[in-house]
Amino acid sequence: MSQIFKSHLEKFITINDEEFEKILSFFEVKTFAKKEDLLKEGQVCRHNYFVLKGLLRKFFITEKGTEQTTEFAIETWWMTDNISYEHKTPSEFYIQTVEKSELLVISCDAQEQLLEEFPVMEKYFRIIYQRAFAASQNRVKYIFSFSKEDFYLQLLQKQPAFVQRVPQYLIASFLGFTPEYLSELRKKIVS
Per-residue pLDDT, 97: 98
pLDDT band of residue 186 (cuts 50, 70, 90) is confident
Per-residue pLDDT, 118: 97
CATH code of 21's domain: 2.60.120.10
Per-residue pLDDT, 125: 97
Q: Are residues 48 and 130 in the same domain?
A: yes
Q: How far is CA 95 from the centre of its chain?
A: 9
Q: Are residues 135 and 177 in the same domain?
A: no
> 167-180 burial string, b = 16+ CB within 10 Å, else e?
eebbbbbbbebeee
What's the rounded mean pLDDT across residues 146-150? 85
pLDDT band of residue 19 (cuts 50, 70, 90) is very high
Q: Are residues 95 and 152 in the same domain?
A: no
Share above pLDDT 70 across residues of the chain, in percent, rounded to a whole number: 100
Distance CA 159, CA 161 (A): 6
Q: Name the domain count of the chain.
A: 2
Q: Are residues 27 and 75 in the same domain?
A: yes
Q: Are residues 24 and 115 in the same domain?
A: yes
Please tell me the pTM assigned to this model. Answer: 0.92
pLDDT band of residue 159 (cuts 50, 70, 90) is confident
Domain holding 187, by residue range, is: 146-191
pLDDT tens for 50-66 read: 999 999 999 999 999 99
pLDDT band of residue 146 (cuts 50, 70, 90) is confident
Q: Are residues 60 and 139 in the same domain?
A: yes
Q: Are residues 48 and 141 in the same domain?
A: yes
Q: Are residues 163 and 138 in the same domain?
A: no
Q: How far is CA 119 from the centre of its chain?
A: 24
* Structural contact between residues 91 and 45, judged by C-beta atoms closer than 8 angstroms: yes
